[in-house]
Structure 1
């Protein structure tokens, strides 16, 4: 008798991975604003969802699954947010992956489409944050960052400065010590991103500052001044992902943007073993994810034209140039000196203004990055448009840790036109360069047929 009793043994068979292409077809976002408690998360979420559905000209009924990201809130805020457009009984999955939450929601929506589970999925992110630097919400249990705290103490010590500023500031200090970069290079990143945000209607901070103003703003930690640090923010963003079948059936070829490759990676043993401030900031998981997406996409960093990069602090943008392979190891500051990180250079990095000036509502950040790149690839951004884009890259990282790196390009589909004014089909304005709220008519036009009149009546529009 064998281990199967009287049954005939069977052989395990390799089942090839089934995968389809996925496309971003609709995006929408709110203004990112200073946390003042004036706008609640259902209101922000509703605006982002309505705009994304207006973008595709469909009602909420087409959404077959929803992935809803936020870091601060109770367990089913996702359901509360999407129910406003209809209680259609679809799966709603709540997502929390620290600062990479929005991109993680997108990652899950993309997987559902590529593996044939659904033809149309929603990734929604929002955050209603407290004022000031982020602190722990739960002091009666082990912190998910307890290892990071211990290693921070062992490497360069802990001060009274904001914790995340110490993590990323120390990474910048180590980079300077090892490779010859200076605090001025980090200040130049802050100057660049504030300059870019002046043309982004959704940005929390739109003022332009000189390099001297960035350098002389209040010191937060080490080389980091206030104008090199992202502000806490309230806001929401939404992205609709669909299969090629859905795109063709609904004649959305002109606005569809292909997700060419996407990787989610977590920390490596380097976090523990190298006693490095750069590794403590999650550089190795970015290296891993970047290497994989380039391989999947069949391209190199030299093929990228525009990048939305997680610049929670200018120091993180500096070390991430290396981790993404945008320069040779140790030469990130040379990329800055050669002006290859802004318009007219090799790359345009953070045309939206990045987290430093656009703002950083944790659950919405990754989806706002996606929205910017989709508008760029469609050619809708006019006054901040990056020319001749073939590939766009998105980088969204969260300590603790997770990073999502994504590569996008214009869709190559039948009956597709080079239509840079596609916004006219759905809006009476260009949402890439003008931010407007939604009306009750907009809301009703995209609601499900199963929407509750009670929820419509109680909505504050």
Structure 2
């Protein structure tokens, strides 16, 4: 029997540039404290905690949580690349849904360094060896940082197949900036135009400029999930619940398709979305608001198609018609997304949860999507994992 899972509380701190804000443990403690206050529970009520981060030593989760209380509960540290925060959320939801626990904390944080992502350990096999080899074969560009050339290669694949223009990616970045200006927790709150995006420094000629990539970011976010019986016993809010959730990893198509879009998770996204829609008996056009993994503008574009929001090859029209913003089919990344809000890897998925919970509560102020009842979250990690979550208002 699966128990209904409610989002009783969420917390988030303002995202910042590397080297500007506090250390990971301080950020994590603060986000957790905000979530506890928002839920109206004490740390003593938490029965399990799942803590996500990518760059950090083992048991960093305990370091961040112990200032909130040392109650002896299970603390599970989670690392699943850029989908780490949502993986922590996935595990927390499973604990509630299965009846193993009634009140669980999911926390994510990241203290990042400036510059492109890179490997930490150089004395053992790199988990991206196969990904890099196929990328070398398909697009080359070995001088370009790993994530940039993989997602840029995916965008290039879409351009070659469907005639997508570079300017279309610039429209995505400009849209993100217009949304972020209303988010006090976002890293970048300055509106940039399509022309400014196009004129920013070129990272890959004809494929990407600097403003089409998300910045390295530090930050933390948290969510408290509860069962219905726990919520009723403690008088907690039950207006937002997780209607469906799916997590997928790579299949053989990731490599056998020999297409950069598949290599960066297009099929993982499509499979997870299909599972969620079927479990909740909804379709893509039922979604009111969406937070998706726009680590690069290129990934936002191909994810529209992966989530079924538009036909395959139809993303450029979807964007040009304004169907990805206010007044269109689905408001995408009202927070500003990773491109403007920032991307602290372990915190990203829980920051998406924070935004969508506020939207469904009707508390998003100038970012509010009118009448939002169904909210979809998409969080992707290369290597790989994808988590898609559907939230609903009751």
Matching of residue 365 in structure 1 with residue 348 in structure 2: yes
The alpha-carbon deviation at position 38 of structure 1 amounts to 4.4
- Residue ranges of structure 1 left out of the alignment (5+ in a row): 1-17, 412-461
Greater C-alpha radius of gyration: 1
**Alignment partner of 2:210 out of 216, 221, 226:** 226
**Alignment partner of 1:237 out of 192, 211, 221:** 221
The CA deviation string for residues 321-375 of structure 1, in whole angstroms up to 9 with x for no partner, is: 0100000111011100111000111110000000001000000000000000000
1:328 corresponds to: 311
In 2, Cα distance between equivalents of 1:314 and 1:181: 13
Partner SS state of residue 328, structure 2 = coil
**Alignment partner of 2:170 out of 182, 187, 195:** 187
The alpha-carbon deviation at position 376 of structure 1 amounts to 0.2
In 2, Cα distance between equivalents of 1:89 and 1:251: 25
**Alignment partner of 2:247 out of 264, 274, 277:** 264
The alpha-carbon deviation at position 23 of structure 1 amounts to 0.8
Q: Does the 8 Å contact 2:51/2:78 carry over to 1?
A: yes
**Alignment partner of 2:98 out of 103, 115, 118:** 115
2:198 corresponds to: 215
The CA deviation string for residues 404-446 of structure 1, in whole angstroms up to 9 with x for no partner, is: 00000113xxxxxxxxxxxxxxxxxxxxxxxxxxxxxxxxxxx
Name the TM-score, length of structure 2 as normaliser: 0.98
Q: Does the 8 Å contact 2:10/2:222 carry over to 1?
A: yes
The alpha-carbon deviation at position 37 of structure 1 amounts to 5.8
Q: Does the 8 Å contact 2:136/2:142 carry over to 1?
A: no
Partner SS state of residue 394, structure 1 = strand
2:35 corresponds to: 52
Q: Does the 8 Å contact 1:265/1:288 carry over to 2?
A: yes
Name the TM-score, length of structure 1 as normaliser: 0.84
Counterparts of 1:3-152 in structure 2, within 5 Å, are 18-36=1-19, 38-152=21-135
The alpha-carbon deviation at position 119 of structure 1 amounts to 0.3
In 2, Cα distance between equivalents of 1:370 and 1:231: 20
In 2, Cα distance between equivalents of 1:180 and 1:226: 22
- Residue ranges of structure 2 left out of the alignment (5+ in a row): none
1:342 corresponds to: 325
Change (3 A) 1:62 1:256: farther
The alpha-carbon deviation at position 158 of structure 1 amounts to 2.9
Partner SS state of residue 322, structure 1 = helix
**Alignment partner of 1:408 out of 379, 391, 394:** 391
2:299 corresponds to: 316
Partner SS state of residue 369, structure 2 = coil
Size of the aligned set, in residue pairs, is 393
The alpha-carbon deviation at position 234 of structure 1 amounts to 0.6
1:173 corresponds to: 156
Counterparts of 1:188-207 in structure 2, within 5 Å, are 188-207=171-190
Q: Does the 8 Å contact 1:303/1:390 carry over to 2?
A: no
In 1, Cα distance between equivalents of 2:223 and 2:21: 24
